[in-house]
Structure 1
């Protein structure tokens, strides 16, 4: 049903692909305008401030919980 190839498959093209150089040069990169730079900076600052804010608001949840009962018991013991 299936016919097997008897000749080896040449893989020389894989080695040649690493050395291949195109003679087509890509177009030059467009320089960013001041508006685009400001917009990207604003987005970056927003992301960073959001992460910092989440960390600051999340820190109390990461602290071990101190039971307020100990403070009440110590006050009651001092009043006796």
Structure 2
């Protein structure tokens, strides 16, 4: 934070930045095996979905040369 250049009339306002509580928060509960398994399955499902979309999507994004040749041959056959 920035340093204050003017005096603050109230001491508690000046010390508010340094205040620490003596109350400790309760400890975190550990996740159960079911929760851990569920989170890992969701993560694996998301990763598998992304990998599958890349696997099936990449051939569709490549320019297809065989489709252009077949269209030209169909046009030449109709004449």
* Structure 1 length-normalised TM: 0.59
Gaps of 5+ in 1: 1-7, 74-80
* 1:47 alignment partner in structure 2: 46
| Distance (whole Å) between structure 2 residues aligned to residue 22 and residue 43 of structure 1 | 38
**How many residues are paired up?**
62
- Cα RMSD after superposing both structures: 2.9
Instruction: Extract structure 1 runs of 4+ deviating beyond 6 A.
Output: none
Gaps of 5+ in 2: 1-5, 74-79
Change in Cα spacing, 1:22 to 1:60, as seen in structure 2 (3 Å) is: same
* 2:69 alignment partner in structure 1: 69
Cα deviation 1:24-80 (Å, max 9, x = unaligned): 21110001111111111111101110111111111012212214528x87xxxxxxx
Change in Cα spacing, 1:49 to 1:26, as seen in structure 2 (3 Å) is: same
